[in-house]
Every structure is written in structure tokens, then in C-alpha cells.
Amino acid sequence: MAELLAARASWEASAGTVQQANRAYEIADVRYRNGVSTQLELTDSRLLLQQAEANRAVAARDLQVARARVALLPDLPLGAAVSNAASRATAQPIAPQPPSQQQPPAAGQLRTASAQGAQGQTGTR
């Protein structure tokens, strides 16, 4: 629930940021058209507007994810899963497994990368 509230607050705050960035871009555009400002100022204000819009989109996504999580929360069997796992652990003690016995490969089967490289080098010279 705290995640949902934080996501909603972030989304609502981003609306004001987009409005301010849009207004700043409009002012920069008017200044540039009247020859009072530079292309750089106009480009910077446009970049800030696009960043604000992107941040708003991320905030909207975070809000939707938080809403989905809250909606799915009642369907999660957290209590049942924990109690089932605890009862299985106490009802069936785990027997120790014997260590796996692997056979070492025969000496003729071992080839190292250096031995293969040496054979490849002698064959190409």
C-alpha cells in the first residue's frame, strides 16, 4: 500500500513538472523567434520538456504496477504457503544424501587446451 501511495504522489507531482517544462519551452520558442535567444536555449528547454514527459510516463507505469500488485495481493496464498512449507519441514526430516561418486576420467581422455593448441600449432607450421 505504501508503494501505491508513493507511486500516486510521484505521478501527481510529475504533472506539474510537465506543465512547467511546457511553459518554459513556449517562452524559449517565442524568445528564439524574436531573436532574443539562441538555438541552444530552445534546444535545452525542449530537452527538459521531453525529460519531464518521460519521467511522467515512468511514474504512470510505476503507478499501474503498484495498482496491479495491490489488486493481486488478496489472491496470493502467502499464509497457506508458509504454513504448508513449515508442516512439510517438520513432518518429513531430510535424510543426508551420500556424496556423489564420480569416476575420474582415464588418462587418455584428458586433453588440456594447451596440448590441443600445441598440436594445432605444429600441424600448421
Model confidence band, residue 17 (pLDDT cutoffs 50, 70, 90): very high
- The arithmetic mean of pLDDT across residues 18-22, rounded, is 96
Report pTM.
0.56
Is residue 86 predicted with pLDDT exceeding 80? no
**Per-residue pLDDT, 78:** 64
**Per-residue pLDDT, 42:** 96
> For residue 57, what is its C-alpha cell?
510516463
29 SS3 class: helix
pLDDT digits (tens, 9 = 90+) for 109-125: 444 444 444 444 454 44
DSSP 111: -
- Residue 59: exposure state from Cβ atoms within 10 A (0-12, 13-18, ≥19): buried
Is residue 52 predicted with pLDDT exceeding 60? yes
**Per-residue pLDDT, 49:** 97
**Per-residue pLDDT, 98:** 44
Q: Supply the angle between the helices 2-33 and 39-72 in degrees, to the nearest 10.
A: 160
Task: Supply the mean pLDDT for the chain.
Answer: 75
- The arithmetic mean of pLDDT across residues 12-20, rounded, is 94
